[in-house]
Amino acid sequence: MIEKPVPPPRLLLVDDSPSNLAILSSALAQYPLYTATDGLQALEIAHRELPDLILLDIRMPGMDGYETCRQLKQQAKTQHIPVIFVTGLDDEEDETLGFALGAVDYITKPIRPNILRMRVAAQLQLKARRDQLEQMADTDVLTCLANRRHFEVVMQKEWNRALRFSTPLNLVMVDVDYFKQFNDCYGHVAGDECLKAIACSLNASLRRAGDMVARWGGEEFVCLLPGMTKAQAADLAESILQRIRDLNVAHAKSIVADYVTVSLGLAALDLSQHQSWRQLLECADQALYNAKAQGRNQLVVL
């Protein structure tokens, strides 16, 4: 799959002094910057923009830097953003409190631009490594789709959202028809290439921001489709069927076609039947079983 270019890290600078902001902005001009002059504004920008690093003054009118950091670390959306305190307070107690609140570094004024840049770069490098490790933990190595563990986390969030706002939620289970026979005929390398092609096609089929496709295991995939009606989800599933056919991957051992096909099972949230997202998944899995029992290369909706 084609890797997307990595955007440059973005920084949020927070200081009530325009002159201090100017010094910080000049020293860190190589990065895209957001600026805030008080704690409330900093919280708003942090929640909206999710910067990669926050440089935070302590003594500010209203909400000081300590309270701003405390609130950042209490919110799930912002708690993983590293914070560096940049302040004129150089007492050991102040520095100790800063680290106790979750800061990753504590820099005292006056600012030394070269040292500031090096310490900022070090924290950004650490964050990039953490992000990479998290992505690896959430991603299937072969297909580069979300893995089962990550899917379950996202699925729980979407389930909670659907219950809270009474919005539709659909699951589509996808299984490659006669995949064992494909591997036996063409070899496991060809089998891996087949799965990658199908994964790419599935990913291209889901264009909305909330849609998600994951590798469930082996030759099975699962598509999460929140916020669309059952009929819309069925139309999308039918288009997936055709997309896979159009790949025209030869399959001499398939009984249903001379190319690779898939079977799909669709289930939509019904609170009279589903008390958890796992029950919804079981329903989609039953629909998939029915599709395979009825001849494969088709969609069954329950």
Does position 120 have pLDDT exceeding 80, yes or no? yes
Residue 222 and residue 158: Cα distance in Å, rounded? 14
- Give the torsion sign (CA, 199, 132, 35, 64): positive
Confidence of residue 4 (pLDDT cuts 50, 70, 90): low
Q: Which long-range contacts (CB under 8 A, 24 or more apart) does 246-249 make?
A: 247/197, 247/198, 247/201, 249/194, 249/197
Confidence of residue 301 (pLDDT cuts 50, 70, 90): very high
Other C-beta atoms lying within 10 Å of the C-beta of residue 249: 18
Does position 3 have pLDDT exceeding 60, yes or no? no
Q: Enumerate the domain spans of the chain.
A: 11-136, 148-301
| Per-residue model confidence as pLDDT tens digits over 155-185 | 999 999 999 999 999 999 999 999 999 999 9
Give the single-character DSSP code of 201. Answer: H
Residue 62 and residue 37: Cα distance in Å, rounded? 11
Residue 234 and residue 241: Cα distance in Å, rounded? 11
The CATH superfamily assigned to 148-301 is: Reverse transcriptase/Diguanylate cyclase domain (3.30.70.270)
Residue 223 and residue 215: Cα distance in Å, rounded? 9
Q: How far apart are the first and last CA of the chain?
A: 33
| Per-residue model confidence as pLDDT tens digits over 129-152 | 998 888 778 899 999 999 999 999
The pTM of the full predicted model, rounded to 2 decimals, is 0.66
Per the CB < 8 A criterion, the answer to whether 173 and 285 are in contact is yes
Give the single-character DSSP code of 17. Answer: -
Percent of the chain with pLDDT over 70: 98
Residue 158 and residue 164: Cα distance in Å, rounded? 10
Residue 55 and residue 85: Cα distance in Å, rounded? 6
Confidence of residue 111 (pLDDT cuts 50, 70, 90): very high
pLDDT for residue 2: 40
Residue showing tokens 């563990």: 149
Whether residue 82 is preceded by a cis peptide bond, meaning omega within 30 degrees of 0, is no
Tokens matching residue 75: 């919110």
Which positions are catalytic?
A: 219
For residue 136, the number of C-alpha atoms closer than 13 Å in the C-beta half-sphere is: 6
Q: Which helix (H) or strand (E) holds 55?
A: strand 53-56
Which of these CATH numbers, 3.40.50.920, 3.30.70.2860, 3.40.50.2300, 3.40.50.300, describes 11-136? 3.40.50.2300
| Average pLDDT value for the chain | 94
Percent of the chain with pLDDT over 90: 89
Name the residue type at position 113.
Answer: P
Residue 2 and residue 92: Cα distance in Å, rounded? 49
User: ∠ CA 134-74-35 to the nearest 5 degrees?
Assistant: 85
Does position 1 have pLDDT exceeding 70, yes or no? no
